[in-house]
Structure 1
């Protein structure tokens, strides 16, 4: 199955990259909202889900966390999943989610470097020990704890028994503390955080989601005539006050001097912002034919994902 621009982490990385500018200058950006498909689209189509009893020490806790996360999933029309319980749940469901989760932790002694007093002055009257006169990093006997959790998940489509989603999600975290310090949290709290993280991750993998993100306009005027270069520069500034007027101005520049990279790319952003994803994709591909660049490749993937997201949203509305 084709994987599009669907990871939330990738969206965050994109936003950071879009806002980065050379020399610390403030970049002009466009704010866009769109809906993206689930990473596993087939699983997202099974909207009536039954959650079977999970096996393992932490199975019940994970099943409850995933159930809560899935009830928060939304498509453009509202809540995405209906969770079915009781003995008839699987019979009435479109998909059945099952899994297991088991955690463990172990502690052992380690030597860690800590800054400690190694020399003291003679104690004055009434003092139990003198003032510290010298500190150094020295090895100290400490405690190290490693907490681990392994979860396995799968969704079976009731109609034909096909496994449409399967995932193994291992987690591990190591913390340490020394005399005079306390552990940052208990092993139980660490496991609870891991379970919560897995539940949220599962939701992002099998449910569509909306994103609002900022993308940097391209500002390179290379190849434009002097007059059009000035108009282009002014249009970039105009985009922050009147986006529609700026997009119209870029259309005029592209008509007068077709094929300038930044103009074409920015027109793609205009199309993406107004929800015309096929036109945006065509413009990004046109830009890619002029130059291969990271922001252009990312824009192509993003437009493909938005097209898929729009297709899925239309499918959800028909139900």
Structure 2
């Protein structure tokens, strides 16, 4: 239990950290993924943030999302994006019930806890916009009636960064709603050989047993919100954001929403590390995956990248 000030006690911190570690260990049984990437993904889950998995086909993006859902005991749904996908296919629609002579709402796959939006950039802008309310406000409005989404609720969206035929680039407003952008990369030679051995008889995801449940995960999420962040740490986050906005190579820097997400992620990382307080180290470790995809570069900044802008901001901004 927390004390009267709302701060976490040691037992809560240990319980939440142990829960997330059990999830990570269970995921590793079925997916070959670098530990730091998995930790960043679980930080986002703990901070109730959505994740954009941007990588080449076949590196395990979909398998990772399915495995996380199984290990956490959460409901899972997959949306395969195509050009003809409609918003109603994702969020649901009202259907006329002839027996009862009334319309009733039929929820779409977005009402699961973990929603994999596969190849999100293949959906039309109209369908992509249907995700905005879901991701920001965690509810769906259909025919002026709002429907609350499940909790926890995490969108894991994938896109291929090298194939653009038949795709629609994500607008900045959509990208800004993802807490982090992660890249899985290719596994090591030893890891890939082990993956071949483990998966040669079939998909290992079905062998993963849940090591958590929605109630326990919500408790850990609530605990992450109560991790202490000092005024100095908040000022440090703001200084980083301002540095990205002042960079001459940048047309659009990190938004206030980016700062809020960075602070939430830092608090979740602190809890994952067994601490009841966030440090500048947490902010620095997550700044790249949280901020870089939000940076819109100026047209003349031909050789720059969002990652470089964030790295320079970190190097030039002293931690208090």
TM-score range (shorter-chain normalised) is under 0.3
Structure number having the greater helix percentage: 2
**Of the two, which has the highest radius of gyration?**
1
Structure number having the greater strand percentage: 1
TM-score normalized by the length of structure 2: 0.23
TM-score normalized by the length of structure 1: 0.23
